[in-house]
Structure 1
Amino acid sequence: MTGRAVRCPVCADRISWEPGAPVSVWDVENSRYETVRVTALAPEKRADLERLAYRQCPNPSGDTAAHYLPATYADHGEPLVIGLVGAPASGKTHLLTAMIRQIHLDGLGAHGITAAPLDFRRHRDFHDDYVRKFEAGGTLSGTDTGVVEAADILLLRGPTGARPVSFFDVAGEDLEDPEARNRATKFLAGTTAVVFVHGSEDPLDTGRPTPRSENRSFHLAVERLLALPDGARLPAVIAVTKSDRLRYVPPADRWLHRGDERTVDAARIRAESRDVFAYLHHVGAGASLRPFEAFTRCALHFVSASGGDAKPVDRGDPAVRHFPRGFRPTRVLEPLVSILAMTGMIAGAEAERVGAP
């Protein structure tokens, strides 16, 4: 390999990013990629074209269908690949949608970080299919099984530089599938951080002791990640979603009432982590604490993507639901801020202590 070596976030192969290689543009009329050679273009035209173009991954292992990455994917700092892991109906898609929406509403501005789409077409599709519907109060369907592409790829710029960030939201059914050649979970081999998503229990049940649970999504993902070189050193976060159901229940109420944080405070994050740990242990969700036991750096957070439960729109069809109070995300960026601190995107003494024992 003579170019810069990067790992493809889709197939997890290490590939060489050759300077001046042909790029492809999306042909809307024919729904296909069209190759364009850029070496003959003036520098200004070339840069403008590449910002909207793609490169086909060579996929040296040959074990994944043809896929493309933004043509500028390797022009920045080391890419981040963040996977959301959780059981079916745990709230992964709602959390990711709320998270990306808040990012583009300057939610990371307090930390000196700005965001822009790296893959404009992918980001437009994600906004149209998910963000717009959620903002209108609609519920989102779960992720389709067999999805192998990133949900969105953003470019985050901050004091430590610019880094592409790919977000993977894989169906819980795929995460629980032990098939070794499960393509949908291939991204785990190249992930750089993981958000483990646990759907909160109904607060009426929190006072009753329950037997230790089983969380197959967490278990299989953790074991696959630990098998990687230095897998135990991957930054990990446990996010308790649907925490609005716990807004009057200690200790969750304390954190939900704080709203979004504007600073990185390792002691505060450690205190919230202790409270989440205690909550999960109390409700018998000990299996969901497996990432805390497995990874050397792990933070735990209470989050609410919607701010309330969805209600049926039509009594005759209870499957059609909406959020009557609208879309009110709370603390959805805290898991991401912890990851950015643990991966060096947010720097400083406090960031270095986030997630540490």
Structure 2
Amino acid sequence: MTTSGRTTRCPICADEFAWPNEPEVWLFNPGDGRYELFDISTVSPVKQADLIRNGYRRCPNPSADMVEHFLPASFGHHGDPLVIGLVGAPSSGKTHLLTAMIRQAFLNGLAAYGITVTALDFRRHVHFRDQYITPLERGDGLAGTGTGVIEAADILLLRGPTGERPLIFFDVSGEDLRSTDARNRATRFLLGVDAVIFVHASADPAEKGLSSVDSENRSFELAIERLRDRVLPAAIAVTKSDRLRYVAPADRWLHRGEEQVLNAARIRAESRDVYAYLHHVGSGASLRPFEAFSRCTLHFTSASGGDALPKQADKEFPKYFPRGFRPSRVLEPLISILAMTGVIAGQEAERVGMP
């Protein structure tokens, strides 16, 4: 096998290997759902580039501890990938937050920071769009992530002042995140993440005694212990914050909408308010990432704009949002992560998440 000489870490199995540079790519056949090896050495350079852009490389998985999996054939042609994992308890709103975040990013939500977003894995993104973005846009509630999922939710390509970097998101079920089984492959992504977004669902202030502190503690604690020896930036996203739209201090942040300028002092102020809110409502367990990671920001977010209600006679989407789909501040955790990982550069970015 010929290689490019560049060492790559697979975000799925966490193995490192030399990125292959062979005149062959794997093409996905939608007819039978399989990958087929295709020799591109005999076609023109223009066609080769197109096949590489749409094809895949099979991960060699040197440890031989994971099922067969593939990465985009152009994965190793860009800058170092940025792998972000979402961690949270069941029903914390991880999937809704990730879906709204990716949707807003594709709607030029990062343009103010000089960043454009395209799909790196076209087939994966089309699946994500059809299964998650489109239903959410029409007001349907999404089902939680199933257990045992090992693949990335989506693989994007960021282009900006600091170059091109693949962006990989992992959204694993809360049940898997709370599992103590060392053989659970669904949580393997934690070994290769570059940043983590911890997701905590706000309680409805109208419902007394509603709390998810215990379950949040388990998912957060297990992830933190696995990441303890690594220096990573983190963000805490308080989802379903639309429940707090009339409650201080969340109300003033939600009314601001999406920001257009990176301002470390403003991010620190919001982090301070989120910290105070979580401490006040007794959700101290969800503040553990702030204590465990040296750079951490906290944010109020709303992926949908309201709670979902039951819908009759629809097994695929049994819930809907009666007020429609109205995301608010869903990009703020991602923007902070991009600043703390150097995707957004400059002196202001260097101050984000600092004490």
TM range (shorter): over 0.9
Q: Kindly, what percent of the aligned residue pairs are identical? A: 64
SS of residue paired to 2:91: coil
By how many angstroms is 1:122 displaced? 0.4
1:216 partner letter: R
SS at match of 1:106: helix
Paired letter, 2:328: T
1:76 to 71, 78, 85: 78
C-alpha separation in 2, matches of 1:99 and 1:353: 23
Partner of 2:150: 148
Aligned to 1:64: 66
Contact in 2 for aligned 1:209/1:283 (Cα 8 Å)? no
Q: Structure 1 unaligned runs (5+)?
A: none
Structure 2 partner of 1:299:
297
Q: CA deviation at 1:181?
A: 1.2
- Structure 1 contact 10–149 (Cα < 8 Å) conserved: yes
| Distance of 2:156 and 2:287 partners within structure 1 | 29
Shift of 1:204: 3.0
Deviation of 1:320 after TM superposition, in Å, equals 2.7
Q: 1:43 to 1:2 in 2, by over 3 A?
A: closer
Which residue in 2 is equivalent to 1:34?
36
Partner of 2:141: 139
SS at match of 2:199: strand
Task: Return the TM-score normalized by structure 2.
Answer: 0.95
Off by >6 Å, runs of 4+ in structure 1: 208-212
1:168 to 167, 170, 174: 170
In structure 2, do the counterparts of structure 1 residues 316 and 129 end up closer, same or farther at CA, with 3 Å as the change threshold?
A: closer
Mapped to 2, the partners of 1:198 and 1:323 lie a distance apart of 20
Query: What number of residue pairs does the alignment pair up?
Result: 351
Residue number among 342, 346, 349 corresponding to 1:348 in the alignment: 346
Distance in 2 (alpha carbons) for counterparts of 1:75 and 1:100: 22
Structure 1 pair 311–45 and aligned structure 2 pair: CA distance change class (3 A): same
Aligned residue in 1 for 2:188: 186
Question: What's the offset of the Cα at 1:83?
Answer: 0.4
Amino acid at match of 2:341: T
Contact 2:213 2:286 in 1 (8 A): no
Residue in 2 that maps onto 1:157? 159
Q: How does 1:121-136 map to 2 (within 5 A)?
A: 121-136=123-138
Question: Tell me, which stretches of 5 or more residues in structure 2 are unaligned?
Answer: none
Aligned to 1:234: 232
Corresponding position of 1:43: 45
- CA deviations on 1:171-201 (whole Å, 9 max, x unpaired) are 0000000111110000000000100000001
1:102 to partner: Cα distance: 0.4
Alignment check: 8 A CA contact 1:170 1:184 kept: yes
> Is this contact kept in 1: 2:203–2:210, CA < 8 A?
no
Distance across 2 between alignment mates of 1:96 and 1:105: 14
* 8 Å contact from structure 1 (residues 213, 286) kept in 2: no
Deviations 1:290-330 (A, max 9, x none): 1000001000000000001112234999x932111111000
Q: Pick from 115, 118, 141: which aligns with 2:117?
A: 115
Within 2, Cα distance between the matches of 1:287 and 1:304? 21
Is 1:288 aligned to 2:286, yes or no?
Answer: yes
Q: Which residue of structure 1 lines up, in the alignment, with residue 242 of structure 2?
A: 244
Q: Residues 92-111 of structure 1: matches in 2 within 5 Å?
A: 92-111=94-113
TM-superposed deviation, 1:203: 1.7
Change (3 A) 1:349 1:38: same
The Cα of 1:41 is off from its aligned counterpart by: 2.8
- The letter of the residue matching 1:20 is E
Counterparts of 1:304-343 in structure 2, within 5 Å, are: 304-314=302-312, 320-343=318-341
Query: In structure 2, what is the Cα distance between the partners aligned to 1:59 and 1:18?
Result: 13
Structure 2 residue matching 1:3: 3-state secondary structure:
strand
SS in 1 for 2:237: strand
Q: d(CA) in 2 for partners of 1:156 and 1:306?
A: 25
Q: SS at 1:74's partner residue?
A: helix
Aligned to 2:218: 216
The superposition leaves residues 192-231 of structure 1 with CA deviations (integer Å, 9 ceiling, x where unpaired) of: 010000000112368x89897561000000000114xxx1
Q: Which amino acid aligns with 1:299?
A: T
